[in-house]
Amino acid sequence: MSNTILVGAQWGDEGKGKIIDFLTEHAQIVVRSQGGNNAGHTVIVGGTKYVLHLIPSGILREGTLCVIGNGVVLDPVAVAVEIEGLRTKGVAVNSQNLMISDAAHLVLPYHRQLDEAKELARGSGKIGTTKRGIGPAYGDKIARVGLRMADLMQPEVFAEKLRVRVRENNAILKGYGLPELDAEAMILEVQAAGESLRPFVSNTVAFLHKAVAAKKEILFEGAQGTFLDIDFGTYPYVTSSNTTAGGACTGSGVPPNRIDRVLGVIKAYTTRVGEGPFPTENDGLGDMLHGMGREFGATTGRARRCGWFDAVAVRYAGMINGIDELAVTNLDGLDSLKSIKVCTHYRLHGELLEVPPNDYAQLSACEPVYTELPGWETPTDAVRSWDALPANARDYLLKICEWSGAKLRIASVGPNREQTILL
């Protein structure tokens, strides 16, 4: 029995959903502890594709219990729609397999509007957010004016608090030249969604502590990735939560000494969606991957920016998260290349750097120092064992993990469950 935190060790979309689904063959509980429906986790099971935004990816396994922890920001209308969508596809979602923390903060319509308005106002300096209201919702949480699930469960308290918030936010929206929002209509819409969520809402901290005591196996499903972390990412081109391992504890109430291991998920190359520095970005690699129909965002459909594997970044992610083991996905994306570049260091004003600078302008000025490895020029998507992988593919996987400072544990050669090699 072990409790595992799974984190994205790059800029998000590393294939966390697929790896979570693979690991839930054993885990009994899957916990989301940060982020909101800015996440898009793709899981393909039996030929059906699911994109999970707020509901933990464990929902697709019968017998797995999913928890949305206190650290998540939750759009009640969006989560109600997501639950309905899953049910339409035949996935059972009920109070036996989903719990929502009463301390999770709400994403409300004015958060979404402000997210969009702030992005527009930034012009060319925009962050490239998912426009799901994530930044403004976490902003309210930190400013101590947010509303939580517990408020929504008390209709009169919720209505009263929401009226105050709408009044204040209407003044801000007016400053952006936007029309006022109708508090009464909003109360009705959000309360209707809230009522449909009532069976799921409880004190999930108490539940998780009992589960830990009963030695249940818990998997913490990270959303986003290390370099989108509000503290350690490429600030301000980041999301608004702690996407790194510590966030799993603060966002669930499970203490650090109850965690047994941290698994980092990485792609065999690098992608990023949205603005901000990306040292190993390479348009040629992006054109190739997009041409294969890959690397379009699961939440917004935007084409992801693509680049070579960046061992400097992943090494740093290993330090921050305490990554013991790595799962490498999308190896098959590199199958056709004759030669593959890997960034091992950055050079900044003539000096070799071992870790990325914190300042985004300095990071933007870093030149990647590459080592070139031979490709395998053989399809890997049908490979099911380590020994059957081409020798150059094995060598590539081992080298990128060695340079990243962690042990290779899982290699993924396709989006389906069975396209997974466990070492």
Site residues (vs ligand GDP, CB under 6 A): 8, 12-18, 40-42, 44, 298, 329-330, 332, 412-415
Which one of ligand GDP, ligand IMO, Mg ion, none interacts with residue 239, CB within 5 to 8 A by kind?
Answer: ligand IMO
> In the bound complex, what is the minimum distance in angstroms from residue 135's beta carbon to ligand IMO?
5
Q: What is the DSSP string of 281-299?
A: B-HHHHHHHHHTT--B-TT
- Residue 228 sits in the site that holds ligand IMO (CB under 6 A): yes
User: Reading across the β-sheet that carries 65-68, which strands appear in turn?
Assistant: 201-202, 98-101, 65-68, 29-32, 218-221, 4-8, 261-267, 325-329, 407-412, 420-422
**Window 25 to 54, contacts with ligand IMO (CB under 6 A):** 38-41
Q: Quick check: 76 and 194 in contact, CB under 8 A?
A: yes
SS3 18: helix
Choose between 289 and 383: whose C-beta lies nearer to Mg ion.
Answer: 289
* Chain residue at closest Cβ approach to ligand GDP: 42
Tell me, yes or no, if 229 is annotated catalytic.
no
> In the bound complex, what is the minimum distance in angstroms from residue 40's beta carbon to ligand IMO?
4
- Residue 13 sits in the site that holds ligand IMO (CB under 6 A): yes
Q: What is the DSSP string of 58-98?
A: GGGSTT-EEEE-TT-EE-HHHHHHHHHHHHHTT---STTTE
Which one of ligand IMO, ligand GDP, Mg ion, none interacts with residue 412, CB within 5 to 8 A by kind?
Answer: ligand GDP
**Window 232 to 291, contacts with ligand IMO (CB under 6 A):** 239-240, 273-274
| Closest to 173 measured CA to CA, from 226, 114, 230, 130 | 114
Q: Quick check: 397 and 408 in contact, CB under 8 A?
A: yes
Which one of Mg ion, ligand IMO, ligand GDP, none interacts with residue 410, CB within 5 to 8 A by kind?
Answer: none
* Chain residue at closest Cβ approach to ligand IMO: 274
Tell me, yes or no, if 41 is annotated catalytic.
yes
> How far, in Å, are 39, 88, 143, 355 from residue 312 at the CA level?
25, 43, 35, 6
**Window 97 to 136, contacts with ligand IMO (CB under 6 A):** 127-130, 132, 134-135
Residue range at the interface with Mg ion (CB under 5 A); choices 258-266, 295-303, 313-321, 408-416: 295-303
> In the bound complex, what is the minimum distance in angstroms from residue 42's beta carbon to ligand IMO?
8
| Closest to 132 measured CA to CA, from 84, 197, 75 | 75
Tokens of 140: 């309210």
Q: Quick check: 311 and 400 in contact, CB under 8 A?
A: yes
Given the residues 21, 41, 151, 229, the one annotated as active site: 41
Name, in order, each residue with C-beta under 8 angstroms of 418's C-beta and a sequence gap of 6 or more.
Answer: 384
What is the DSSP code (8-state) at residue 10?
A: S
d(CA 302, CA 324): 32
Q: Looking at 8, 15, 35, 40, which residue binds Mg ion (CB under 5 A)? A: 40
**Window 7 to 26, contacts with Mg ion (CB under 5 A):** 13
Which one of Mg ion, ligand IMO, ligand GDP, none interacts with residue 415, CB within 5 to 8 A by kind?
Answer: ligand GDP
Q: Work out the number of other CB atoms within 10 angstroms of the CB of residue 411.
A: 26
Give the per-residue SS3 of 108-132: CHHHHHHHHHHHHHHHHHCCCCCCC
> In the bound complex, what is the minimum distance in angstroms from residue 302's beta carbon to ligand IMO?
7
Choose between 134 and 389: whose C-beta lies nearer to ligand IMO.
Answer: 134
Residue range at the interface with Mg ion (CB under 5 A); choices 120-128, 292-300, 343-351, 398-406: 292-300
Choose between 42 and 250: whose C-beta lies nearer to Mg ion.
Answer: 42
Which one of ligand GDP, ligand IMO, Mg ion, none interacts with residue 329, CB within 5 to 8 A by kind?
Answer: ligand GDP
d(CA 138, CA 112): 12
Name, in order, each residue with C-beta under 8 angstroms of 235's C-beta and a sequence gap of 6 or more.
Answer: 358, 360
Q: Looking at 166, 298, 312, 406, which residue binds Mg ion (CB under 5 A)? A: 298
- Residue 21 sits in the site that holds ligand IMO (CB under 6 A): no
Choose between 12 and 368: whose C-beta lies nearer to ligand IMO.
Answer: 12
Residues that bind ligand IMO in the complex, under the rule CB under 6 A: 8, 12-13, 38-41, 127-130, 132, 134-135, 223-225, 228, 239-240, 273-274, 298
What residues act catalytically?
Answer: 13, 41
Residues that bind Mg ion in the complex, under the rule CB under 5 A: 13, 40, 298
